[in-house]
Chains A and B, each alone.
Chain A
Amino acid sequence: MRGAKSAKWVAGAIVVALAATACGGNGDGEGKSKGSGPAGYVSIDVGEPQKPLIPADTNETLGSYVIQSLFTQLLDFDAKGNIVYTNAESVTSDDSKTWTVKLKKGWKFHNGEEVTSKSYIDAWNWYANIKNNQQNSFWFQDIKGYDDVHPEKGEPKADKMSGLKAVDDHTFTIELKYTMPYFNYKLGYTTWAPLPKVFYDDPKAFGQKPVGNGPYTFEKWEHKKLIQVKAWDDYQGPNKAKNKGVLFKNYTTVEAAYKDLVSGNLDMIRQVGPTDLPKYKQDLGDGAIDQPYAALQTLTPAFYSKTFKDIDPKVLQGLSMAIDRDTITKTVLNNTRTPAKGFTPPGVKGYQNLDTDVFTYNPAKAKKLIQEGGGVPGNKFTIQYNTDGGHKEWVTAVCESIRKATGVDCVGDPKPDFATDLEARDNDQVKGMYRGGWVADYPVNANFMKELYHTTAEANNGRFSNKEIDGLMNKADNAKSLDASVKAFQEVEKKLVDYMPAIPLWYYRINGGHGKNVGNVNVDFHGDLEVWGATTK
C-alpha cells in the first residue's frame, strides 16, 4: 500500500520536527525569569538596550538606564539642575579653558581596581578615537587634540588627546580648544564614565558583561528579556542603592507593561501608554508619577524649502500664535505636555519667563502678523512627522488650529517610521516644517540653543543660519563665568523670538508610575526614574 508507506515518511518528518523544537525548549529552560525576581529587588520596564553596554556608545534611554546603574561619572545633577559631585571631589577652572578635576580617593571598580586619573584619561581617549566607532565620540570634541584622534576623514594621527594630563593618581587637567564656561555641566553625561583596565583586553566581551564603578554590579543579561544588576555594598557615592538590586525587564508594548504593573508583577513603569492614560491616576493612586522634565517639542521650519525660504519671521510668529497649545495639551495629549513659553524648558539653568505673547493663542493677532509678513507662500505648508511615534493626533490638531485661526492650509506629511523621517531631515528633503524634539543633555540653557540653532550645529536640520545669533552665541561661549554665559544665552533666547528658528510647542512631562511594593521613586532632570532610590516595602 503506497498510502501507508508515505504515511511513515510524514510521521518521521513530524517526529524530527518535534524533537528539534523540544531541544530548543530545554536549552531555554535554564534562564528562567519569574515574576518579581529575588527578594528586595525592584523591577522596571526597561527594554533591550540597542547597543552593547559601553558608556560612550549608548545614547538612547533604555541603554542609559542600565549604564547609569553600572557606572558613575564625575558629577551628576539634582532635580533642579544643580551639580552634585559623585566621583569627583571638585571640577574647577579659572579661565573656563583649562579644567582641573580632583577625584575622591578610595573609589574602586567592581573588580577591585582603583579608580584613578588614568581610568578616566585612557577611557576618554579610547571613546574619542574614530577607530572605535563610538556613537558619542563627538562629546569629546571640545578637548584639545580631539581632531588628532578623530579626524573628519582618514586615519587618526594620534591615540591620545593632548588636552588630557594626569597630575597625580587623583588629579588631572582637561585643556579645551576654546573657552566653555559650562563645560563641567557636560561632564554629567554618562558618556564621561571611566573604564577599568580589563575593558581594553576585549571591549566586545565587556559590552556584554560590563564592570563599572557605579551603585550596582552587573549580574546577567538575558537578551530581549531581562538585565539584572545587584546593589554594590562598597559603593561610596551619594546615589548608593537603597534596594538590593534592579531587574530591567523588556516588554513588547507599554500596555503589556502597564498590565503587569497593575497586577503586581512589575514595580515601576517609565511611561503609561495612551490607552491607559485617562485612568492611570485612579489605578495607581499614590503610585502615579506626573512630572515635567527638561525636554521640548517644536515645529521646525526647513529654511531651505520653497515655503520657508527667506520667510519673514513675522509669519512664523503668526503661525505660533495660531496654535491653541492649552487646548491641545489638555485634550489630544491628555496633559502629558505643558504648553511652551520659550525655547528653554523649566528645570535647566537659565530658564526665564520671556516677556512676549508669541506663544499665546491669539487668532486675530496671528492673522494680522501673517498678513504683515507677506503670508505663507501658496497659503499652504506641511508638517513632517513619523507615524510610529504617536504624533499623528497632535499634528492633526495643530494643523486644524492653524487653519481655523488663520486660513493657512496645513497638512501632515507622514513618514512611515523614524528612520525615514530622519533621512529626509538629514538630506534637506523636508518640504515645510518638521517635528523636532530635544531632551536636555545637560541642564544649561546653552544646550537648547547652541546645539540647535547655531549655523554649524549638527542637529540644526532646519538649516537656520543667522550671523547675529551665531555671533551672540559665540560671545556667550566666551563668557568668563558660567553665570555670565547663562545670562548671555538668556539674551540669545530673547533674540530668538525675533527670528523664530523654530516654533516651540510644549515641554514634556513624564507620566509613569510605581506599584504598591515600592516607594521613594523620583524623577531626574531628563525624565528618567531614579531606580537607585526606590525602596521596597
Chain B
Amino acid sequence: MGRYVARRLLQMIPVFIGSTLLIFCMMYALPGDPVRAMMGDQAYDPAVVASIKKELGLDQPLLQQYVNYMTGLLQGDFGTQIASQRPIKDVILDAFPVTIRLTLFAFIFVSLVGIGLGIVAGLRPDTLRDRGLLTLTLFLVSMPSFVLGFLLQYQFAFKWQVTTPTVTDSTDFSQLMLPAIVLASLSLAYVARLTRTSIAENLRSDYMRTAVAKGLPRRRVIGVHLMRNSLIPVVTFLGIEVGNLMTGAIVTEGIFNVRGIGLEIYDALSRREGATVVGIASLMVLIYLAASLIVDLLYAVLDPRIRYA
C-alpha cells in the first residue's frame, strides 16, 4: 500500500513537468503581447514596452523562459504579474481559499444529496418516486447553469429576500449557499442518476440474493453489501468532478460575484498573463492527480477484491 502510494506520487513529477511545459508553450503560441495589451487603445510608447519586457525576461526565447520559470518555481517563486506587479503566489493565495470553500460546499452537497436521492430512487425502481427523480434530474441536466443561477438569484434574493444577491463576503457560508447549489446542480443530477442505476442493477445480483437468504438484517444488506459495490462508478465520477467544480465555476462565479480561481485564470488568459495561467493550471493538474489517487485508494476500501501492492 505505502509503496503503491509512493510510486503514484513519483509518477506525478513527470506528468507535472510535461503539463506545465505544454501550457507554457500554448500560452507562448497565443497571439497578443501582454505588455502591449496593457497599454490599451490610446497612444503608448514602444520604448517603454521594450524596457518592461526586458526587465521581465519576456524578450528571451521560449525554452529559456521556461527554464527560468521552473527554477523560480522550485524555489517557491511563482513569478510576478505583468500588470499589477503583484507576486503570483499572493494572487493564488487570495483566490484559492474562496474556490476551495465553494467547491467543498458544493461537493458535500453533491455527495450527500446526490447519493441520497439515488439510493431512495434506486431501491424502488420504476415507482413514482423513481420517475420523479428521473424527471427532476433530467430537468437539472438540461438547464444551463446561468439560467438556474439567475432564476435562483431572482427568487431567493429579490422575491423572498432570504439572501444577498451577490457574495460580498466569501467567508460567510450562508452567502455561499446559493452559488454552491447552482454549481452543484449539474453534477448532482449525474450523481443521483449514476447511483440510482447502479443500485437498481445490483439489487438483482447474486450476492444480494445470498445476503438476503443468509438472513442478514436489511440495514446490513443495503448498507454494506449493496452500497459498497454500487458506489464505485459514483466515486470515480466524484473524483474527477472535484477538479471540474473548481475550474468550471466561471459562469457561476460571474453571476454571484465570487472571486475564485476560475475567474482568475480567465482574467489572466485574456490579459496574456502567462505565468499566472501556468501557475494556476499546474496547481489544478496537481489537484486532479491527487483526486485520482484518492479515488483509486477508495476503490480498495469499497471493493475488498481490489488490492494494491
Q: Which of A21-29, A67-75, A78-86, A507-515 contacts B (4 or more CB under 8 A)?
A: A21-29
A34-B169, A423-B36 given; A263·B157 CB < 8 A: yes
Task: Give the contacting residue for B51; candidates A32, A133, A388, A422; CB below 8 A.
Answer: A133
Which parts of B40-57 form the interface with A (CB within 8 Å)? 40-48, 51-52, 55
Check if A153 sits within 8 Å of B255, measured CB to CB: no
Check if B158 sits within 8 Å of A263, measured CB to CB: yes
Check if B256 sits within 8 Å of A9, measured CB to CB: no
A252-B263, A255-B255, A263-B164 given; A2·B307 CB < 8 A: yes
Task: Give the contacting residue for A29; candidates B5, B37, B158, B171; CB below 8 A.
Answer: B171
Q: Size band of the A side of the interface?
A: 35 or more
Which residues of the partner chain A approach B85 to less than 8 Å between Cβ atoms?
Answer: 51-52, 204, 207
Q: Which of B32, B39, B96, B272 has most chain A Cβ within 10 Å?
A: B32
Task: Give the contacting residue for B254; candidates A24, A253, A265, A439; CB below 8 A.
Answer: A253
Check if A259 sits within 8 Å of B166, measured CB to CB: yes
Nearest CB in chain B: distance from A143 CB, A = 14
A252-B253, A419-B33 given; A3·B304 CB < 8 A: yes
A224-B94, A419-B271, A441-B42 given; A7·B86 CB < 8 A: no
Check if A438 sits within 8 Å of B41, measured CB to CB: yes
Which residues of the partner chain A approach B171 to less than 8 Å between Cβ atoms?
Answer: 25, 28-29, 32
B38 adjacent to chain A (CB < 8 Å): yes
Which residues of the partner chain B approach A1 to less than 8 Å between Cβ atoms?
Answer: 304
Q: Which of A5, A34, A252 has most chain B Cβ within 10 Å?
A: A252
Total residues of chain B contacting the partner, CB 8 A: 67
Which parts of A219-258 form the interface with B (CB within 8 Å)? 223-225, 250-253, 255-257
Check if B255 sits within 8 Å of A260, measured CB to CB: no
Q: Which of A111-119, A134-142, A162-170, A473-481 contacts B (4 or more CB under 8 A)?
A: A134-142
A459 adjacent to chain B (CB < 8 Å): yes
A372 adjacent to chain B (CB < 8 Å): no
Q: Which of B70-78, B186-194, B292-300 contacts A (4 or more CB under 8 A)?
A: B292-300
Check if A417 sits within 8 Å of B259, measured CB to CB: no
A147 to B78, CA, bound (A): 36
Check if B47 sits within 8 Å of A152, measured CB to CB: yes
Closest to B168 in A: A35
B279 adjacent to chain A (CB < 8 Å): no
Which residues of the partner chain A approach B30 to less than 8 Å between Cβ atoms?
Answer: 420
A332 adjacent to chain B (CB < 8 Å): no
Closest to B304 in A: A3
A223-B94, A263-B165, A451-B43 given; A7·B301 CB < 8 A: yes
Check if A250 sits within 8 Å of B297, measured CB to CB: no
A250 to B42, CA, bound (A): 24
Check if B48 sits within 8 Å of A137, measured CB to CB: yes
Check if B270 sits within 8 Å of A419, measured CB to CB: yes
Check if B39 sits within 8 Å of A135, measured CB to CB: yes
Which residues of the partner chain A approach B203 to less than 8 Å between Cβ atoms?
Answer: none
B63 adjacent to chain A (CB < 8 Å): no
Residues of A within 8 A of B (CB): 1-3, 5-7, 9-10, 13-14, 18, 21, 24-25, 27-29, 32-35, 48-52, 59-60, 130-131, 133-135, 137-138, 150-153, 204, 207, 223-225, 250-253, 255-257, 259-260, 262-263, 265, 388, 417-420, 422-424, 426, 436-439, 441, 451, 457-459
Residues of B within 8 A of A (CB): 1, 5, 30-34, 36-48, 51-52, 55, 83-86, 90-91, 93-98, 100-101, 104, 153, 157-158, 164-166, 168-171, 253-259, 263, 270-272, 294, 297-298, 300-301, 304, 307-308
Apart from A135-B38, A251-B257, A420-B30, list 10 A-B contacts with CB within 8 A: A6-B297, A18-B104, A24-B100, A28-B98, A135-B39, A250-B259, A256-B254, A259-B153, A419-B36, A438-B42
